[in-house]
Structure 1
Amino acid sequence: MSPLDVLRSVPPLGAVLVLAAAAAALLIDAPYVHELLILAVVYAQFAASWDLLCGPTGLDNFGHAVFIGGAGYGSALLGRHLGLDPLFSVPLAAVAAGTLGALLGSLTLRLRGPYFSLATIAVAAMGYKLSFILSRYTGGEEGLSGLRPFTSSVGADLLVCLALLSLSCLAMQAFMRSRLGLVLRASSHHEDAVMASGYDTAAYKILAFTLSGTLAGLGGAMYGHTQMQVNPDLLSGGLSVMIVLLATVGGRGRPFGPALAAALLILLSEGLRVFEQYRAVIFTGLLILLVYLHPEGLAGSAWVRRRSARRHLAAPRQAGEGRP
């Protein structure tokens, strides 16, 4: 697939939201608004990276926070003890998270059904516990604070996060539409037939796990340097479950769907702070309603499918009109 084809697959709403957030960073002098948008962008990165593995394969990873928190702490420690700038510590932490993904993938992806999910929960629980056991390095319950931001202003940090998210989503979209993504999707339906065709499905899944961990780690490091602190919540089971919910509402197997849904729902959650007493009830009820109305996710809803079908039908027609 050519880069132009990948760009054409970007949902118009996604492009509009990214441009709107960039305009807000450049034109609006409101650090609070910038902070909210950064939070939305970071959660979009979390949800999209989860979907890279779990969307095409149909697996359920309930331990995604181990990559997020691991990279967040890793980048913080690299900056604190080695004095590395985020320009270097963030990529290194993301690569370390990807390496962890490859290791966990090789150990857990041979499990099927609920056993894989249980294994990921156990790994995440171990990571959360280690953040307290190794409190000498991780700061225990207080975590690590005073992290160096990407830039000197919140608005510029927002632009950095938007650029990283956009590149990540484009890379994930290219991966999904490549032969690698096709093999993963096929293996979720009939893995034995795919293996009989000569494909090592385990190797493909490990690669997807590695990429998913890398991009999740990138999101965790982004969170740490934009919030200037990391704590055990980044490794908690609650965060992993939230990511699964956001990605499911967005639509599995469609990188832009989970990213857009996560960004919009996180902004909605922050907006519900005016009803703080009922915030959790309202937000949870809304998630349940969306899952009930759109079991295949918002990106897989009938309205979106019809628009996508019209776009695909219009493309050959336009190409034919240009012929002599």
Structure 2
Amino acid sequence: MSKIIRIGTRDSELALWQATTVQEKLEKLGYDTTLVPTKSMGDQVLDKPLYELGVTGIFTKALDVAMLQGQIDIAVHSMKDVPTQLPKGIVQAAVLERAITYDVLVHKGSSFLESDAPATIATGSLRRKAQWLNRFPNHHVVDLRGNVNTRLIKLIENDWQGAIFAQAGLERIKLLPKDAIYLDWMIPAPAQGAMLVVAMETDKYSHDALAKLNDPDSELATKIERDFLRTLEGGCTAPIGALAQIKDQKVFFEGVVFSLDGKKKAEIKKEVKLSEAKGFGEVCAKEVLANGGDKLMQEIRNENSALH
């Protein structure tokens, strides 16, 4: 049996780049494909911070519905946007080789970083906000929403000193400024820089095709990070960073949860043999919870429920 694989994607430039990359890889292997772009709620509601919308999977839900209704066969996502619990019937089918994981600061001159003067930085991410305030407590962080292009335009139009972006996203659509500052001290979002492709559990044809695109190291690293997130019960309503790196038959892991104001944190750095990596993300999360993370997560939940 052969069929045209319908590839669901958000319609932003970055999402289309990711979907087209998957399309080209599948067609190179001899599969017929077509792109099916759609708008997500996360792309449409831009006047509120993500964490105030209170919707899990705000960027993925429209594609989940399209897949469950039989309008698409597979969907391509930025993996960091995907909830750790997929809808019933939809499963992970491939994690492509991961791009660089770090965040960058796009700025209008970096001298403000050397002074104690107040500055304004923009980001829609609680994780980035908390880590920035932890390092620069005298700065003010404002909310920034929209796709990459929209956010870059907003930075130009406003009197902010800079805005924080994922390096991989800017590189993919060739918008990374030469003078962007690499924030190698900022722990990325779980699965940042990775592309995930999902399919219906029963769709053997798509699974067989996507298995050929899967990168085992990226799959393992992102699983560890997402298990860490899931065990902490994070989602997009808590400032959680996680990074697993595989080198020399070992997994090196760094994870952190911050208070919303960035003043407090519970963190872990741990390594394990590659052969013993099963359940590693969960183990690290439980250690963080036991060492103050549990109290921090409760404070975050209390603050979030007060917001809603």
Question: Fold-level match, TM-score > 0.5?
Answer: no
Q: What TM-score comes out, normalization by structure 1 length?
A: 0.31
Normalized per residue, which structure has more helix? 1
User: What's the TM-score once normalised by structure 2's chain length?
Assistant: 0.32
